[in-house]
Structure 1
Amino acid sequence: MTDPKAPTIRAGENLFIAEKLREVGDLLEQQNATQFRVNAYRDAASYVASLSEPIRTIYRTRGKRGLEDLPTIGVSIAAAIAELLDSGFLSVLDRLRGSIDPEKLFQTIPMIGPSLAHRIHETLHIETLEALEAAVIDGRLSKIKGFGTRRSDSIGHSLNDMLARRRPLAHDKATDAPSIADILVVDQKSRDTADNLPSIKPHRFNESGQRRIPVLHMERGQWQFTALFSNSGAAHKYGRTRDWVVIYFERSGHPGGQSTVITQHGSPLDGRRIVRGREQDCAQFYAR
């Protein structure tokens, strides 16, 4: 479902997409991401701008695989282009700008209005459609007030339809997320170096315009990570804006994802850093 408020893209769509990809590359460079990642977006932008045929035609006739087969366009950037063609928006760009609004994003799903979108974000602390799909699959969504198994399943079907064109044709779900050890290393690094990291100015909960959120870009193994302190209403309400860390991850050939790391209170893992939704994995990790 396309957001009715999405910008209209008419002639020059290739240039519009190239501009957005180039802006991602520029922001990644400003935020000290690896030069490889910066160049990937810039090279893709230059290629798209030089295409002699509309990139939408390629997407419409050959799907995301057709985008992946283009020179300089890998799996992640193909997914970004598909998102732009489907909605006119690019979530990674909004994230890097500090202008992401998860509640508005969730409202693009049928059956999710403002109230339910707010409840999802504040309860599950997720900010992407991929993370919402994961919450459907593992049952967290159906436990939220206002959602039952039937509604959760219906939302899952809608999400699958929306995301199917963007995800790789085949992937191993068991390896879709980094290990607990890797996520906790990124979490520790983001908190230890917060005062020395580049920062973004969030649009939400920043009436004075003075607040800045540190952003860490980091590679570990095959995974690329972006970590920021949570800017959710719940984080502000409970005074956890310097405790809860939202970590986005991706790697070649796999869908992107998101985890939130917090300090646990009132459980056998009291005082430990844990990954929300993967508490059992965390318990096994600390037991080792």
Structure 2
Amino acid sequence: MSEPIARPGAPTNAEVAAQLREMAQLLESQHANPFRVAAYIRGADTIESLSEPVAGIFEARGPEGLDALPAIGEGLAAAIAEILITGSWSQLERLRGSIDAAAVFEQVPGVGSELAHAIHDTLHVDTLEALELACKDGRLEQVPGVGERRAQAICDSVSAILDRRRGARRRARPVPASEEPPVRLLLDVDRDYREKAAAGKLPKIAPKRFNPSGEAWLPIMHANREGWHFTVMYSNTARAHDLHKTHDWVVIYFYDDEHAERQHTVVTETRGSLEGLRVVRGREADCLREARR
């Protein structure tokens, strides 16, 4: 039997709208693009104005029903679907500093706590969307204990979960690198972030993981360039702390105008032809071509 498309006791319209408004408030306080802030406010207004439960629309028509609402595009529809299915929203929790990537991955059948932490710490990903990409490009098999067959089973399960959120139009194919920001732009955003973080010019959040004092130490940057929206921060994984890379490994989340999120991690390469250079994990070949120009 398939899982229900929205969890029992799914959030009310007011609760969904409140999360969208909180996102807008956090983005505004962290100096994000005003148009992005306004998009979430308009989405909240739409949900609050509905004469029927948004969970009912989702149950009846799926993500396409949400996408058809005024001011709700594909990205916001996917976010609302995530809230209705899980009761939480990973993008919002990240800006709060409260995201628990292991809990996100434990939604996947066959992924327990130990493997969930290994996935997060090895691949530097914290969303199911990023995990799906890691499945498709083979990076998941780099995680200790994950062979080819297990990786395929996890990939199938992740895609099934995300298909319920995204609807038919967005489940047809993975996004190719040609539809991501070019490497030169990712590296430029990485450089800008590290320079501003070092100069103390960025707002900081207090992550809950590996932060017993509750200190607001993690710089966060929002930028809008060449039609892409970026949210950038240092990696806060166990592996980054163990290897003392919390001020080297930079996680870049990027969004198109539909607010659909993807991510890459930029690191200083320690071996091979790119040793000493900044490299976008998963786009090494593009980085090598960029370095040779």
Shorter-chain TM-score: what band?
over 0.9
- 1:1-288 matches, within 5 Å, as 9=9, 13-167=12-166, 169-170=169-170, 173-174=175-176, 175-194=178-197, 195-253=200-258, 255-288=260-293
Is 1:75–1:252's contact at 8 Å kept on the other side of the alignment? Answer: no
Structure 2: 5+ residue stretches without partners: none
Partner of 2:244: helix, strand, or coil?
coil
- Which residue identity does 1:134 align to in structure 2? L
Q: Aligned pair in 2 of structure 1 residues 107, 172: CA closer, same or farther (>3 Å)?
A: closer
Is 1:230–1:241's contact at 8 Å kept on the other side of the alignment? Answer: yes
Residues in 2 aligned to 1:142 and 1:124: alpha-carbon distance in whole angstroms: 10
Q: Output one character per residue of 1:91-112: Cα deviation in whole Å (capped at 9) or x when no partner.
A: 1110100111111111111111
- Which residue identity does 1:192 align to in structure 2? E
Which is worse superposed, 223-232 or 162-171?
162-171
RMSD (Å), alpha carbons? 2.0
- Which residue identity does 1:186 align to in structure 2? V
Residues in 2 aligned to 1:247 and 1:190: alpha-carbon distance in whole angstroms: 10
TM-score by length of 1: 0.93
Is 2:76–2:259's contact at 8 Å kept on the other side of the alignment? Answer: no
Residues in 2 aligned to 1:172 and 1:141: alpha-carbon distance in whole angstroms: 16
Partner of 1:277: helix, strand, or coil?
coil
Residues in 1 aligned to 2:89 and 2:155: alpha-carbon distance in whole angstroms: 21
- Which residue identity does 2:209 align to in structure 1? R
Q: Output one character per residue of 1:167-202: Cα deviation in whole Å (capped at 9) or x when no partner.
A: 361467224422111111111111111111111111
Which is worse superposed, 34-43 or 207-216?
207-216
Partner of 2:157: helix, strand, or coil?
helix
Residues in 2 aligned to 1:63 and 1:237: alpha-carbon distance in whole angstroms: 42
Residues in 2 aligned to 1:279 and 1:157: alpha-carbon distance in whole angstroms: 26
Structure 1: 5+ residue stretches without partners: none
Q: Aligned pair in 2 of structure 1 residues 158, 259: CA closer, same or farther (>3 Å)?
A: same
Partner of 2:272: helix, strand, or coil?
coil
Residues in 1 aligned to 2:187 and 2:284: alpha-carbon distance in whole angstroms: 13
Partner of 2:221: helix, strand, or coil?
strand
Q: Aligned pair in 2 of structure 1 residues 133, 172: CA closer, same or farther (>3 Å)?
A: closer
Partner of 1:203: helix, strand, or coil?
coil
Residues in 1 aligned to 2:126 and 2:283: alpha-carbon distance in whole angstroms: 17
Partner of 1:216: helix, strand, or coil?
strand
- Which residue identity does 1:105 align to in structure 2? V
Q: Output one character per residue of 1:114-164: Cα deviation in whole Å (capped at 9) or x when no partner.
A: 111111111111111111111111111123221111111111111111111
Residues in 1 aligned to 2:217 and 2:259: alpha-carbon distance in whole angstroms: 31
Residues in 1 aligned to 2:190 and 2:208: alpha-carbon distance in whole angstroms: 23
| Identity, % of aligned positions | 45
- Which residue identity does 1:173 align to in structure 2? V
For these two proteins, the number of residue pairs brought into alignment is 284
Residues in 1 aligned to 2:8 and 2:201: alpha-carbon distance in whole angstroms: 39
